[in-house]
Amino acid sequence: MSLTLAQFETLISDEGVQIIDTRPSELWMDGHIPNSLHITPATVKYAVAMGLIEKETPIAFILPDTLGESVIAYFEKAGFTNSKGYLEGGYETWLNANKKIDLLIEVEVDELAMDIPFDEFLMVLDIRTEDAYDQGHIKDSISIPLLEFPDPGSMSELDEHFNIYIVSETGESNSLAASLLKKQGIHNIRIVKDGWEAVQFLKDKFTIEKTKVKPNPDSLLED
Residue spans per domain, the chain:
2-96, 105-209
105-209 has which fold?
Answer: Oxidized Rhodanese; domain 1 (3.40.250)
* Residue 195: per-residue pLDDT: 92
* Residue 49: per-residue pLDDT: 81
* Residue 223: per-residue pLDDT: 46
The domain 2-96 having CATH identifier 3.40.250.10: the answer here is yes
**Is-above-0.75 flag for pTM?**
yes
Q: What is the mean pLDDT of each run of 10 residues along the chain (223 residues)?
A: 96 94 92 92 81 86 88 84 93 97 94 93 95 94 90 78 92 88 89 93 89 57 48
Helix (H) or strand (E) holding 25: helix 25-30
Task: Tell me the residue type at 139.
Answer: K
DSSP labels, 75-114: HHHTT---EEEEETTHHHHHHHTT---B--EEE-HHHHHH
Same topology, domains 2-96 and 105-209? Answer is yes
The whole-angstrom separation of Cα 166 and Cα 125 is 5
